[in-house]
Structure 1
Amino acid sequence: MAIAGLVGTTIEYYDFFIYGTAAALVFSDVFFPALGDVAGSVASFATSAVAFVARPLGAIVFGHYGDRWGRKRTLVTTLLMMGLSTIAIGLLPPAEAIGVAAPVALVVLRLVQGLALGGEWPGANLLTAEYAPQGRRGFYAVFPQVGGAIGFALSSATFLATDVIVGNSDDAFLSYGWRIPFLASAVLVLVGLWARGSIDETPVFRAASTKALSTPRRSPFAGVVREQWREVLLCGGVTGVVFALFYIGATYLTTYGTATLGIERQIVLSLGIVAAAVVALFVFLGGRLSDRYGRRNIIIVTGVLAVVWSIGVFPLLSTGSPLAFGLGLAGAFALNGLAFGPVGAFLPELFATRYRYTGAGVSFNLGGIIGGAVPPLLAPVLADSFGAMAVGAMIALLAVTSVVCTWALTETSNRSSLHDQHLPRVRRASEQPVP
């Protein structure tokens, strides 16, 4: 079951991340050639940010079906939506050919990607966490999280291979090379459908359905808003810096390394693959440590470390060394993984079974807007106006917010997977809830 969750999220995140890589490398030239470098980069990242706005809506829509009718069928639907929209982007003509219709179509397809991923993350995490034995949910819930790291590695590797195939030619890369990773998604979607078709519904959902916990008269979203709105808002604050660390590394630093520091594109993409391996390692570490020391403790410690990293990373990058760039990128991804590991179990555990899919999905994707959409969009403007240190200050602020919000939530590592009420606040990290 863990492998099925891993395969599915790997494919969905591959589709999602190749867009971010393309936005950093080529979309400003292909779809916004008349805007210039800075404005074109902002417009390109803005189309990427559109998906994060759509993700909470996807969590609401697919959360409704996931909480009412099960995780499996919902996940098959999100996989198909993501795959078909990704292939369509790969076939989209440039602005030079069809004018303003090109960026408009790009935005629409990116919205579809956002809707699909908004429903993917909570379902994939529930698929593994609800099968996991008591005391090991943190470890098992990391498998869908690692899918994100593998998806990013595949994204970077595909673009790197494409760059090598076209002979490092900018013209060929801009003309057709960038399309290859998008069209290759067709093969991956078939693999994902096979993996998703081989799984059974989770025992927790089946038990909840038997007790009529997952089929309340009101909609799951209404239940979340009425009973656990506070947790939704706090979890958005918790995950904001998790998203920021990843997407600043995956998108903004990719542009910063090639355009500002002058590092070769192939070197930056190669370092991205190495950094993805760092994410995977620290996701496993964070999830495992959260079973032993608690979800909150690991996330809080990571938030404090993220403040230190954000202050020191841009002076390090300013040396212009590829090694320094690699260390800065690895640091962002290590901190992302260390916090992302516990989040996979922490968010679902906070919400009642009857609307867990919706609650975890909406709160996680709210963090996506806070940390995944806004920072990469603001980063080029902040760096151009105030210098790169302003980007670091923005990440530090998000890290402080994450620490405060995590402290306001309760520890959940000893919580039963099947419960129909939310938890009161735990004021001290040493206090543990009774299963």
Structure 2
Amino acid sequence: MTTQSEFQTLSDAAADKEHRRVAAATIIGTTIEWYDYFLYAMAAGLVFKELMFSNLDGPAATIVAFLTVGLSFLFRPLGAFLAGHFGDKVGRRKVLMITLMMMGGATALIGLLPTYESIGILAPTLLIILRIVQGISAGGEWGGAVLMAVEHAPVKNRGLFGSFPQIGVPGGLLLASAVLAFMSKIAPGDAFMQWGWRIPFLLSVILIVVGAVIRHGVEESPVFREMEKLQEKESAPVATLFREHWKLVAVAALIFAGNSAVGYMTTGGYIQNYATDPGGPVGLSRGDVLWAVTGSAALWLVFTLFAGWLSDRIGRRSSYIVGFILQFGGVLAVFPLVNQATPMSFFLGIALLTLGLGLTYGQQAAMYAELFPASIRFSGVSISYAIGAIVGGAFAPTIAEYLVQTTGTTNSVTVYLSIMTLIGLGCVLALKDRSGIPLGPEHEKQQWESPIRGVTKV
């Protein structure tokens, strides 16, 4: 006969096993998704500007290539609206499986595309269509992944668990940079431009299978199961979100914009292109730059994980304040170091940047989940994230390229990134700390109270 203490031990062991499974699924799944997404961004500056937009001159081809990176962001809200609606209606898990397939399929097809020289304008047209599919997928992926992690988490470790899908971003950047760097060794020079760049895109087929198998084994979010049991699901969650919570969506979006504008200097491929441009002031080799970005992504991953852990100790708001202050320092340091034009100074510049980036990203999942009521949470976190990505990251590489070409100096980019960082900090200061608030549907009355300072009605 099983005693009460033995039953509790069995229950705890089962819970620990499920927590490990959720952690693995969110880390691996989001890493694969962001590998696909960032692979395109890095290839835009290194490859597509020459192969897909060869009908344009050098500077114009670079700007157009980065515009295709930003174009996908315009479709992320569509993905967020769709995923938010269905995620709040039919569940988080089903949405995650669909977004994984969409992202991986589009990435693999990019690896098979002919170049402009082969089929003319059809090549960049197909490239843009596939990038749009990636954007829709990315818009739906993030909200589902973070809610699966946070809603499964013990209250005292919510920030840490929420950082697991967050490390998928630096993890995806690390993986994409490493694979491209490895291929630049295997297929150097012209070989890389002819066929070497395609291999990382085609590898996505294998990664899709791995991600699908892992995600299939994860249980649905306990919060969503409770919503089904209590029949507390909103009939039109997106409409409710914008009618009742538009101020909160704006504040949450601007917090992420303050992070993503800076982050997309590397994830959007701008610094890689700037540092490898043979006619530019830096002129580093493609391999040196890609390995440096790989190393900085590893540091970013560590700092992101640390931020989630730290937010469980000092609160989401306090950890964000520390992070944005450090990010501001990194913004001031990055281009002076990169412009010294040595592999070590380049690595040091982007490594310092990752300290603040990690500490303004790791706690985001937990904070966003704690901001919105259960019945519209998927819609709230997904749409806030997607809007923040547009305002901050969508055209950050394009803006940076335009500023440098117009002013002739990276000082203008530093000013731009500093302003975005201060906007993010200001919005954090406008929020109350809701660390540890109950997330279940039975606590919706508490969750509906405004987290914005000085605002009684959301």
TM-score band, normalised by the shorter chain?
over 0.9
Deviations 1:117-167 (A, max 9, x none): 11111100111100101121000111111112111111011111111111x
Deviations 1:44-90 (A, max 9, x none): 01101111111111011011111100011110000000011111111
Deviating runs (4+, > 3 A) in structure 1?
Answer: 425-428
Q: Is the 8 A contact 1:410 1:423 kept in 2?
A: no
Answer yes or no: is 1:284 the counterpart of 2:301.
Answer: no
The aligned residue for residue 141 of structure 2 is 120
CA distance in structure 2 between the aligned counterparts of 1:43 and 1:239, rounded to whole angstroms = 25
The aligned residue for residue 81 of structure 1 is 102
The aligned residue for residue 324 of structure 1 is 345
Match of 1:145 among 156, 162, 166: 166
Q: Is the 8 A contact 1:59 1:118 kept in 2?
A: yes
Q: Is the 8 A contact 1:79 1:189 kept in 2?
A: yes
The aligned residue for residue 327 of structure 2 is 306
The aligned residue for residue 226 of structure 1 is 243
Match of 1:258 among 276, 280, 283: 276
Deviations 1:240-269 (A, max 9, x none): 121122210231111111113111111111
Answer yes or no: is 1:133 the counterpart of 2:154.
Answer: yes
Deviation at 1:426, TM superposition (A): 5.6
Answer yes or no: is 1:192 the counterpart of 2:211.
Answer: yes
CA distance in structure 2 between the aligned counterparts of 1:201 and 1:53, rounded to whole angstroms = 29
> Which blocks of at least 5 consecutive residues in structure 1 are unaligned?
429-435
The aligned residue for residue 158 of structure 1 is 179
Deviation at 1:427, TM superposition (A): 4.0
Match of 2:265 among 248, 254, 258: 248
CA distance in structure 2 between the aligned counterparts of 1:426 and 1:293, rounded to whole angstroms = 19
Which has more radius of gyration? Answer: 2
Q: Is the 8 A contact 2:87 2:144 kept in 1?
A: yes
CA distance in structure 2 between the aligned counterparts of 1:221 and 1:311, rounded to whole angstroms = 39
The aligned residue for residue 91 of structure 2 is 70
> Which blocks of at least 5 consecutive residues in structure 2 are unaligned?
1-21
Three-state SS of the structure 2 residue aligned to 1:28 is helix
CA distance in structure 1 between the aligned counterparts of 2:310 and 2:448, rounded to whole angstroms = 24
CA distance in structure 2 between the aligned counterparts of 1:318 and 1:196, rounded to whole angstroms = 43
Deviates more, 1:23-32 or 1:312-321: 312-321
The aligned residue for residue 17 of structure 2 is none
Deviations 1:155-188 (A, max 9, x none): 011111111111x22x211111111100010000
Answer yes or no: is 1:411 the counterpart of 2:429.
Answer: no
Match of 1:399 among 417, 421, 424: 421
CA distance in structure 2 between the aligned counterparts of 1:2 and 1:220, rounded to whole angstroms = 27
Deviations 1:304-337 (A, max 9, x none): 2322322232222221121111011112222111
Three-state SS of the structure 2 residue aligned to 1:130 is helix
CA distance in structure 2 between the aligned counterparts of 1:426 and 1:81, rounded to whole angstroms = 36
The count of aligned residue pairs is: 424
Deviations 1:180-229 (A, max 9, x none): 1000100000001101111110111111221222x223x11001101111
Deviations 1:383-402 (A, max 9, x none): 11111111111110101110
CA distance in structure 2 between the aligned counterparts of 1:308 and 1:334, rounded to whole angstroms = 10
Q: Is the 8 A contact 1:55 1:119 kept in 2?
A: yes
Deviates more, 1:10-19 or 1:317-326: 317-326
AA at the equivalent of 1:176: W
CA distance in structure 2 between the aligned counterparts of 1:241 and 1:249, rounded to whole angstroms = 15
Deviation at 1:414, TM superposition (A): 2.2
Answer yes or no: is 1:422 the counterpart of 2:444.
Answer: no
Deviation at 1:422, TM superposition (A): 2.5
How big is the alpha-carbon RMSD for the aligned residues of Structure 1 and Structure 2? Answer: 1.3
Three-state SS of the structure 1 residue aligned to 2:109 is helix
The aligned residue for residue 367 of structure 1 is 388
Deviates more, 1:402-411 or 1:116-125: 402-411
TM-score normalized with structure 1 length: 0.95
Deviations 1:353-386 (A, max 9, x none): 0011111000011111112112111111101111
CA distance in structure 2 between the aligned counterparts of 1:385 and 1:317, rounded to whole angstroms = 19
CA distance in structure 2 between the aligned counterparts of 1:9 and 1:240, rounded to whole angstroms = 20
Percent identical across equivalent pairs?
38
Three-state SS of the structure 1 residue aligned to 2:141 is helix
CA distance in structure 1 between the aligned counterparts of 2:384 and 2:54, rounded to whole angstroms = 36
Q: Is the 8 A contact 1:4 1:196 kept in 2?
A: yes
Deviation at 1:417, TM superposition (A): 1.6
CA distance in structure 1 between the aligned counterparts of 2:168 and 2:253, rounded to whole angstroms = 21
AA at the equivalent of 1:403: L
Q: Is the 8 A contact 1:6 1:144 kept in 2?
A: yes
The aligned residue for residue 433 of structure 1 is none
Q: Is the 8 A contact 2:324 2:359 kept in 1?
A: no
Q: Is the 8 A contact 1:10 1:148 kept in 2?
A: yes
CA distance in structure 1 between the aligned counterparts of 2:145 and 2:332, rounded to whole angstroms = 34
CA distance in structure 2 between the aligned counterparts of 1:150 and 1:398, rounded to whole angstroms = 24
